[in-house]
Structure 1
């Protein structure tokens, strides 16, 4: 299965936050959208970084409550691993495991067209397994 199929199912929406937004704003956006990470972007198309709940917690441990008024750019991950709509889901398993990331923005011609999470990857794999199982059952009974 290709990443484009996942995006067809879940849609192209990507939650973003500006690099100069405060960490307090980031936490609000994460909570309001029920997501674990957001793409940091000035324009919603070009990636500056990615910020996750994990980034907040790790910095909160060292900076305390002062962290809440700092800009997201201070805690975000600036090196962002990405994928394309044509990539196979199986390749994401390797990328996510190797780099220990749970979210990959999807880029096409340098612009963001979606985001894929580890949950999306697992759902797609379960769906493929269920389809294979149904085919095998039909074959055996039919």
Structure 2
């Protein structure tokens, strides 16, 4: 787990690179959702990056995607991740994107996570929680975002 709210710098970050989660967990699009869910559970995260056959960003698969697009419609754990993930028009940013711009993109597209791409490779993910913890580290949402996901 990252630094506590008390340990965080009081100066807000300027770029996404300063707040993103580096080296995101990624899975191939043809893997079963059960494997994506296992990776989420092992890493205490709510989403994985989904890569196409060429290793490029296809989308993001969240725990909610699996629940709504697989479990709720009685599909099985062998359903390919590509059939559960959010892939149409996936929005990404670069590591040098200003934090304020990333927040505006999240608002405009109604997304909670943005893949961070550099030279065609996913190098991180920035979440709404990351932005809140940076901008308002003493807020309730920041406390929830910083909490141990296994509790």
SS in 2 for 1:38: strand
Flag structure 1 segments of 5+ consecutive residues without an equivalent: 128-142
Q: TM-score, normalised by structure 1?
A: 0.77
Number of matched pairs: 122
SS in 2 for 1:51: strand
1:61 is the counterpart of 2:63? no
1:4 is the counterpart of 2:17? yes
How far did residue 67 of structure 1 move?
Answer: 2.8
Equivalent residue runs for 1:72-87 within 5 Å: 72-78=81-87, 79-87=89-97
Which structure has the larger Rg over C-alpha atoms?
Answer: 1
Q: Are the structure 2 counterparts of residues 24 and 123 from structure 1 closer, same or farther at C-alpha, using a change threshold of 3 Å?
A: same
How far did residue 44 of structure 1 move?
Answer: 9.3
Q: TM-score, normalised by structure 2?
A: 0.73
Q: Is the CA contact (8 Å cut-off) linking 1:16 and 1:44 kept in structure 2?
A: no
- The answer for the alignment partner of 1:48 in structure 2 is 58
Flag structure 2 segments of 5+ consecutive residues without an equivalent: 1-13, 138-151
The structure with the largest helix share of the pair is: 1
